[in-house]
Each structure stands twice: as structure tokens, then as C-alpha cells.
Chains A and B, each alone.
Chain A
Amino acid sequence: MSVAQEMILMLPEIVLVVGACFVLLCPRFLAWPLTMLALAGTVGAIVATAPEDPTMLMTGMFERSSEIDFLRILVCVLTVLILRYARGHPVSPDRLQSNEFYTLAIFGCVGMFLISGAEHLITLYLGLEILALSLYPMIAMVRDDGRAGEVALKYFVLGALASGFLLYGMSLMYAATGTLHIGELASQLGQLEMNRVLLLGMVFMLAGLAFKLGATPFHMWLPDVYDGASLPAVTYLSAAPKIAGLLLLLRLFSDGLMALAVDWTTLMMVLAVLSLLLGNLVAIAQTRIRRMLAYSAIAHTGFVFLALGAGTPHGMSSAVFYTFVYALMAAGSFGMLLLLNSRVASEDIEDFKGLNHSHPWLAIMVLILMFSMAGVPLTAGFYAKLYVLQAVVDAGLWPLAVVAVLLTVVGAYYYLRIVWYMYFEEADRPAEPGEDSAHVFLVSANALILVFIFAVPQPWLEMSRDVARVFVGGQ
């Protein structure tokens, strides 16, 4: 393949990087339109250059396949949504709406794009670090807020530690197999006897990723970051990077280390059960909405690990679907928070009290989002849970499915609490959501699409299956 052809297939990344550079240097009033232009251009480039079959680029370090393009488009769409949600936020005018915030958001996308196509451990690591290094300053950006600084430091130190774990695991893999290419790694592992170096490498890699994704017992940073960082940064962190995290897991474990599946599925199951247990139980005790959503994020991560822990293609596609739905739910929930927060900073769950009396439409949207998170039918969250359960039961692990659904009932309690505050209680002080009608429209569309996915799930399920097929082990 000629260099020119490779460049054409790398066009989405190129558009993003060039766009990010322009956004960084342009006058402030141009930052927003240029950001949108860059992301829209990226989507256009993805669609225009989609290859027929999966194609290896850059001497086999990067893979471009049209199946994964769907998730990249989703990353762009979520980023646009989230930046639009964040636009009206009160702390943004002088700091967060600056060029830097948008630049970092775009560079975060570059990192996620690299992860999505990485066929080589170095590319994977590069993508992960580009994403992480965009997130650290985004969190620290509110300079005069002590808490933001504190959590940024915490996130940075733990994130760096996790990267170290991951790198060390990769180096052990290299020591055992002599290759960093994921495809070669998979075929080498298929022939090797299991040994301690491999096992150690695998455990280190899984620990590193569990840190990044916030699975129990590596979750400590997550509630603090959700609570302490600025709301726009948390919103960004909560949605699209989850998709990148899933792709990392799929690429490393379901693809590269498929030969060791017997070992890592057990570990993932442990992580899954611990995350579900801790996330759901601790979320009940939270009074601050962001901490509640943080623990709920841990619980949802548990579900993704549960799906992958089934160790089957079925499990992988259910993990893709689950993450896809979760990213939409998280974006919608934080988008709603940003809307409710745009004039009065309301951080307590109690601030939802009486929302139905003052803003019935918004209350219905929150109701949809919460029931979807709880996995109640008429929302996409139900299929997400159903799909994972199916994969788990199919793998013969029905006791785990029982544990998971019982913890879902625990989880339903804290989602219900928001609904009952909105509908059953009177407001202590009136809610004053923003009157930005475009924001209201986007949040509503974000919630209603969950109902739409419920009614017409087939295309999304097929998409998940196609994505998972790209990774199916050892090819």
C-alpha cells in the first residue's frame, strides 16, 4: 500500500489533529465553530474513507475497519453533544470555554481513535496516554478551585501508576513472546505453554486497565474525580472514554490474550462482582448527585466486565452494546445536570425535589434516563442488561447472572430515589434550569433515543455484533 493510500485511510486522525491545532491558535470567538467543524469534518472523513475490509496501516501498527468506524462516529457525536452541553455552564465563560478546553477535547478524541485501531501494543499505549494527558489538564483547569487541583493530582498520580502497570505488563508479554504486535502476540500465545511470566504480565495489564476504567478494587479515584472536577470535565470523562476503555479491553484481552482466556475471565468475574457490589451498595448512601453517578458508573463498569468475563463472542458483543447504551445514558444524565446547574449550582440529590411541578417535561426526561440506568423496560437499558445476562447464562454462569440481577435491584433503589424526589416531593427551593432551548432539545433527544433504541433494537444489536467480530480472538 502506498503512502498516499495510507494517508487517506488515516484522514480522520489527520483532520482531528489539524483541527486541534487550529482551535488552539484561533481567536476565541472562532474556537467553538472550528471545534464543531473539526469534529464534523472527522465524521465526514470517516464516512468518506471507510474501507471495504479491515486494512492494516503503518506496517501493521494500526487497523482501519468499517465496523469500528461506528464507534468512532459515536465518539465524535458524544463529544459534540458534551461540548454543547458544557457551553452554557456558569464556570465556563472565562476558563472552560477557552480554546484550551476544546483543544483538549479534540486531542482526547485523537487518543480514542488511536486506541480504536491499535494493532500494536505501542500504538495502544500511545492512544491511551494521549487520552489521559488530555483529561488531566481538563480536570485541573479550574485553577482557583482547590478541590479541582486536588483531584487532578490524585487522578494524575493514580493514572500514571496505572499506565506503569500496563506498560510493565506489556513488557513482560514482550519478554515471553518477543513481539508487541497484537496479532502476532495472539498466535504466539496460542503455541506457548502457560508460564508465570505470561500470567504476571496478564495480571499487570488487567490491573492497569481496571484502574483506568475504575473497576473495584481500583476505583478509589473515580468518585473523587467525579465530585471534585468541573462539571464539563466530568461530563466529558463520563461518556466517550468509556467506549475507549471498552475497546482497550477488547483489543488486549479478547483479541491479543484470547489464548489465556481461562485465566483472565476468572479475574474479570471477580472484578465484575466486586464492582457491582460496591458500586450499587455505596451509591445508596450518597447525597451528592455526582458521587451517586460515580458509584453508578462503577456498577455499570462491573456489568461490562461481567459481559467480557463470559469469554465468548456473545459476551463481547453484549459488552459493546452495553457500553454504547451506557455512554448515551451517562451523557444524557450529565447533560441534564449541566442544564439544571446552569444558573444555580445544585449538587445534592435533593435538588431534584419537585422538578415535576415546575418542569414536567424535564422530569419525564430524567425519569427515562433513570429507568434506563436501572434497566427497566421501555428503555434501552433493559436490552443492555438482557444481552449481558444472556451472554453470562449462555456461558453456563447463571449463578453470576443471579448475583448481578439481585444487585440490580439494589441499584434500582437509588435511581428510583431521584424519580420519587421529582414526582412525590415538594421543592425546597425552585429549580432554575437554563432556558437554552437547543440544550433542552439535545438533552431530550438524548433521553428519547434510549426509548427509540428500545423500540428498534435490531440495527444496534447487529452493529455490536459486527464490532465484536473484529476482535474475536487470535486472528
Chain B
Amino acid sequence: MSLLGLMIWAPIAAGFAALLLKDPDVVRRWALAASLFVFVLAVVAALGFDPAGGYQWQYRAPWIPAFNINYHLGVDGLSLPLVVLTAFIGILAILTGWNTATRHIGQFFAAFLMLEGLLIGVFCAMDAALFYIFFEAMLIPMFLIIGVWGSDNRVYAAVKFFLYTFLGSVLMLVAFVYLAIQSGSFQITDWHTFSLSSLEQTWLFLALLLGFAVKVPMWPVHTWLPDAHVEAPAAGSVVLAAVLLKIGGYGLLRFCLPIAPDASLALDGLVIGLSLIAVVYIGFTALAQTDMKKLIAYSSIAHMGFVTLGLFILYRLATETAMLSVSGAIMQMISHGLVSAALFVCVGVLYDRRHSRNIQDYGGVLETMPVFGALFVFFALANAGLPGTSGFVGEVMVILATFQAGWWLAALAAMVVVLGAAYSLWMVRRVVFGPAEHAEVKAFQDLSGREMLILLALAIPVLAVGLWPVPLLDLIEPSVAQLIDQAQTFKAGGAP
């Protein structure tokens, strides 16, 4: 079995094993050990990766000759950072959920381990059918995580999450089937070079866009996200924000841009428009939230809108600037993965103590939890894009690039920073600072060792990427260059 295959199937197998274990402590340690194992494998894969080498760690075996579907795995500079991110977040999710489940503890950790395996599968799949299988199978554990261990309105949120994503993905399936029939192959790289008329591209683009837009999520199909985030347990929110949303951006990179470049060019205004609505309108919506989890959820939508903006602005830019904006969008995805995960952990820490997500139930947390307060403020600032944190790198790259397309576009895009600073700082001001008025807050204990470990583990990469982003940029840039080349190789050939 290949390295990537092991990273996919080891956590899934470990998840099945967790179902059989009875003792809660054994289950927890088992799940932690399994996720650490996957992370070690991810690091091995990253260390053995040559940025200029295209797809690596490939493994290919025929699976369903009748459909011409292959079990084909591989990573390039676009997917490897996301694989490492998934493996990293996998550990933290297990730690965050350490005490969440009170019953069916085996099922809880099994769901997370299987989810992790399936998510890695999504990023490693080089065969579209395999991608789709992981993409949709992942709904099952996430549905259960939200529904079984979520809060009061969990059923509604879980069903909404499932149906929204399912709706987007079935149309994507029709697009995949069409492409497979036309090109005779399910391999994604074959589709990248396959010629399509511009009418075909338009329909395919719209079907794929819907599938991934739900996942990103883009306005106006974003409404499942606030519900899902609010109701999911903290560990579920962490995975959802950090990794699941990235699948949408990854899908746009992997499918929409290179497969339908003419349609992407023709319809880039649509995506840019929706992205700007997400940045501005959803940014204002975030300002109005009183529920911390909802606020971070809306902040996620705004930040992901910024990512889609960075991807689709490329048609209005010269090639070097396009590199800047697409790399910036990817940096922003990774940074958002770390920062939003950290913010959800912070809210989880508070929720464990007060059992409330309402901002007005807090205030003056700094008095009793100085260490936590400092970390919370740090992550809020990273969310606002403070220089020196990872949030800054992506934002500045995209905004700089956007200037070339028009100053007003850049001005609107920069709203993400302004509004991000506003809602993030306003939230920490009301929660962390000020006098402690509530008796419960006065009785808070500062971070436990486990919570400290999680937050510090997240703070290190946030700072590292913010202060020295060059290694990461070196890793992704060759793949980005290839992507831009594909996205600008128009292939309609004059057909209507």
C-alpha cells in the first residue's frame, strides 16, 4: 500500500477498531495515537516532496474497468499543504473533543477518524470518481457528528448540512459523468487537457460551481454553515471550518479553472460578484452577531469569499500578478484553516465553562483566565490579518494583485480586513476585556494542559507562516504556475 493510501485507510480502520473498544480512556488514547500516526505520515510525505516535480507519491491501480475508474492517488503543490493541514487538524480535533462525548464515546472518535481518512482521500484523489466518492462519503460522519453530539437544534442543522451539500454534489456528479463519457476517462489530469466547446464548458462550469460553492460556502448558498457551526460540537466545528470548507476552494482550483477555462473567463464576473457580496455583506452580518460561534461562522464565509475572489480575479491580471493572487488565495485558505480552528477551540473552551455562546454572558475573562485571554486576542488579531500572523500574508497578496484589476475591486476586497478587524476585535473586547460582571466568569479556571497544548500548537504555525511564508510559497508556486497556465489555455476552439 502506498503512503497516501495508508494515510487514508489507517484512520478509517482505526475508526472501526474504536467502535469495538469499550473503555473510554483507551478509546481516546487510541484515537490520538492513530491521528498522530497519520500526521507523522503526512510529514514524511511533505519532506519527500519535490515542489517542481508535479504529482508525487502516486499510486495507481485499476479499480472498476467497466467504468474506467482507477484507484489513483497523488499529491501536488496544491493538495499537499491541505493534506498536512488535515492531518494536523485531525489531532487537534481529537484533543478538542476529548471530553465532549458522554456516551457512545467509541462512535464519537470513530466518526472523527473516519472523517479524517475521507478528507485526506478527497485531497489525494486523482480520479474524479474517487474524489466524488470521498467527497460524498465524508458527509456521513459529519452528519452524525453534528446530529449526535451537537447542541439543541442539531437535527435541523445536520439535515440542512447534508441536503445542501448533497444537492450541490449530485449536479457535480452529472458533470463528472458527462466529462467521463466525452473524454473516455475519469482521470482529472486527462480532463485538464480535454477540449470542450464553450457551451459545454458553461454548463459544466455551472454544475461544478454549484457543487463547490455550497462547500466553500459562497453567498447565497451559505446558509447551512452558521447553523452547522453553531450546533456542531467544538471539535466538529474545528474540522468543518479548518478542512471541510477548503474542499470547496480546492475543487474550484482542481476542476473549474483548468477544465472549463473559457467558461471561467466568461463567468468570472459572476464569481467575483458573489465573492464581493460575501466579503462585504457577510462581513456586516458578522458584525451583528451576538453568538460567538455564529460570528466566527460568518467570518469564515467572508474569508472564504476572499479566497474565491483571489482565484477568479486571475483572468483580469497579467500572469505574474495572477500568480500572486492565486498563491495568496491558497495561503489564505491555509491560514484560515488554522485561525478559524483556533477560534472555535477558544469558543469551545469558554463554552465548557459557562455553557453559553452568547457574547453578553462573558466580559472580563482576562481577570480569571489571563493566558487564555492572551491567546484568544492573538487569534482574533490573526483573523483580522495582523502583520506577522498567517492571515496577513494571503490578504496582502490578494489585495495587491486585485489592484491591477481595478482600484475599486481592491477597495471592496480590503473590506475583509476592515470588517474582520471590526468584528474580531469587538468580540474580544466584549468577551475578554472589561470588568468581570458575571459571577460564573469570576469563577473560571484558566486553561488546562490539554487546552493550552491545542492552542499553542495552533499558534506556532500561525506565527511561522506569518513571519516566514517563503517555504510554503515555494511549495505551492510551481503547481500554481501550472494551474494558471491551464486556466489560460483556452480550448473551446471556436465551436459555439
**Residues on the A chain within 8 Å of B129, using CB:** 386
List residues of B (168-196) whose CB comes within 8 Å of A's CBs.
170-171, 173-174, 177-178, 180-181
The residue among B107, B154, B166 with the most chain A CB atoms within 10 A of its own CB is: B166
Is A376 an interface residue when CB atoms closer than 8 A count as contact? yes
CB-CB under 8 A from A387, the residues of chain B are 67
Bound CA span A390–B176, Å: 10
Pick from A65-73, A219-227, A335-343, A403-411 the stretch touching chain B.
A403-411
Nearest CB of chain A from residue B285's CB, rounded to whole Å: 27
B162 within 8 A of A: yes
A360: which B residues are within 8 A, CB to CB?
A: 19, 104, 107
Contact B159 A461 (CB under 8 A): no
Nearest residue (CB) in B for A321 is B66
Nearest CB in chain B to that of A399: its residue = B174
Is residue A158 contacting chain B, with contact meaning CB distance below 8 A?
A: no
* Smallest Cβ-Cβ distance to A465: which chain B residue: B66
B495 CB to nearest A CB, Å: 17
- Is the Cβ of B155 less than 8 Å from the Cβ of A378? no
The answer to whether B181 and A394 have CB atoms under 8 Å apart is yes
- Closest chain-B Cβ to A262's Cβ sits at a distance in Å of 22
Scoring B residues 39 to 66 as 1 if CB is less than 8 Å from chain A, else 0, what string do you get?
A: 0000000000000000000000001111
Q: Please determine whether B174 and A398 come into contact, CB atoms closer than 8 angstroms.
A: yes
Question: Which segment of B92-100, B135-143, B322-330, B365-373 sits at the interface?
Answer: B135-143
Which of A142-150, A294-302, A416-424 is near enough to bind chain B?
A416-424
Interface centre among A371, A378, A382 (most CB of B within 10 A): A378
CA–CA, A386 to B128, complex, Å? 13
Q: In the complex where A393-B178, A412-B162, A423-B144 touch, is A377 in contact with B170 (Cβ < 8 A)? A: no
Q: Is the CB of A378 within 8 A of B162?
A: no
Q: Is the beta-carbon distance between B166 and A412 smaller than 8 angstroms?
A: yes
Chain A at the B interface: SS class: helix
Partner of B137, one of A377, A413, A424: A377
Q: Contact size class for A?
A: 35 or more
Q: Does B132 contact A (CB under 8 A)?
A: yes
Cβ-defined partner of A356 (8 Å) among B104, B133, B174: B104
Q: What CA separation (Å) do A412 and B160 show in the bound complex? A: 12
Would you give the 0/1 interface string for A358-399, flagging 1 where the beta carbon is closer than 8 Å to chain B? Answer: 001000000100010000111000100011011001100010
Task: Enumerate chain A residues within 8 angstroms of B144, measured Cβ to Cβ.
Answer: 423
B67 and A461 contacting across the interface, CB-CB below 8 Å = yes
Inter-chain CA distance A367–B64, complex, in Å, is 25
Q: Which residue of A lies closest to B179 (CB)?
A: A393
**Distance, CA A393 to CA B134, complexed state (A):** 23
Q: A405 to chain B: which residues have CB within 8 Å?
A: 170-171, 173-174
Q: Which residues of A contact B181 (CB under 8 A)?
A: 390, 393-394
Chain B min CB distance to A205 (Å): 31
B166 proximity list for chain A (CB < 8 A): 376, 409, 412
Nearest chain B residue, comparing its CB with the CB of A317: B66
Is there a chain A Cβ closer than 8 Å to B274's Cβ? no
CA distance A407 to B57 in the complex (A): 39
Closest residue on chain A to residue B135 by CB atoms: A377
User: Residue A194 at the B interface, CB < 8 A?
Assistant: no
Contact A420 B159 (CB under 8 A): yes
Taking a contact as CB atoms closer than 8 A, the residue among A394, A408, A409, A423 that contacts B147 in the complex is A423
Question: Is the C-beta of A47 less than 8 angstroms from some C-beta in chain B?
Answer: no
Q: Which of A376, A402, A465 contacts B139 (CB under 8 A)?
A: A376
CB-based nearest A residue for B65:
A458
Q: Is B412 an interface residue (CB 8 A)?
A: no
Contacts of B170 in A (CB 8 A): 405-406, 408-409
- A413 lies within 8 A of B66 (CB): no
Which residues of B lie under 8 Å from residue A357 when comparing CB positions? 103-104
Q: Does A178 contact B (CB under 8 A)?
A: no
Contact B159 A389 (CB under 8 A): no
The CA-CA distance from A367 to B137 in the complex, in Å, is 13
B163 touches A409 (CB 8 A): yes
Task: Determine if B481 is an interface residue (Cβ-Cβ < 8 Å).
Answer: no
Contact B136 A377 (CB under 8 A): yes
Whether the Cβ atoms of B180 and A390 lie closer than 8 Å is yes
A413 engages B140 (CB within 8 Å): no
Q: A19–B235 Cα gap in the complex (Å)?
A: 60
Contact partners of A416 in chain B: CB under 8 A? 143, 159, 162-163
Measured CB to CB, the closest approach of chain A to B469, in angstroms, equals 36
Contact in complex: B104, A390 (CB < 8 Å)? no
Whether the Cβ atoms of B174 and A393 lie closer than 8 Å is: yes
A409, B177: Cβ atoms under 8 Å?
no
- In the assembled complex, which residues on chain A have CB atoms less than 8 Å from the CB atom of B159? 413, 416, 420
In-complex Cβ contact of B132 among A377, A425, A461 (8 A): A377
In the complex, what distance in Å separates the CA atom of A386 from the CA atom of B133?
11
CB-based contact A389/B137 at 8 Å: no
Q: Distance in Å from the Cβ of A55 to the closest Cβ of chain B?
A: 27
Question: At the interface, yes or no: B148 with Cβ under 8 Å from chain A?
Answer: yes
- Interface positions of B from 452 to 490, Cβ below 8 Å from A: none
Supposing A393-B177, A409-B163 touch, asked if A424 and B148 sit within 8 A by C-beta, the answer is yes
Known: A371-B140, A393-B177, A409-B163. A378 touches B133 (CB 8 A): yes
Q: Which residues in A have their C-beta under 8 angstroms from that of B162?
A: 412, 416
A-B contact pairs, 24 of them (CB 8 A): A357-B103, A376-B137, A377-B133, A377-B136, A378-B137, A378-B140, A389-B177, A390-B67, A390-B180, A390-B181, A393-B177, A393-B178, A393-B181, A394-B181, A398-B174, A402-B171, A402-B174, A405-B171, A405-B173, A413-B163, A416-B162, A420-B158, A424-B147, A458-B66
Top 6 A-B pairs, shortest CB-CB distance? A405-B170, A461-B66, A377-B133, A424-B147, A377-B137, A378-B137
**A residues bordering B, Cβ < 8 Å?**
356-357, 360, 367, 371, 376-378, 382, 386-387, 389-390, 393-394, 398, 401-402, 405-406, 408-409, 412-413, 416, 419-420, 423-425, 457-458, 461-462, 465
A412-B163, A423-B144 are known; give 7 further A-B pairs, CB within 8 A.
A382-B133, A406-B170, A409-B167, A409-B170, A413-B163, A420-B158, A458-B64
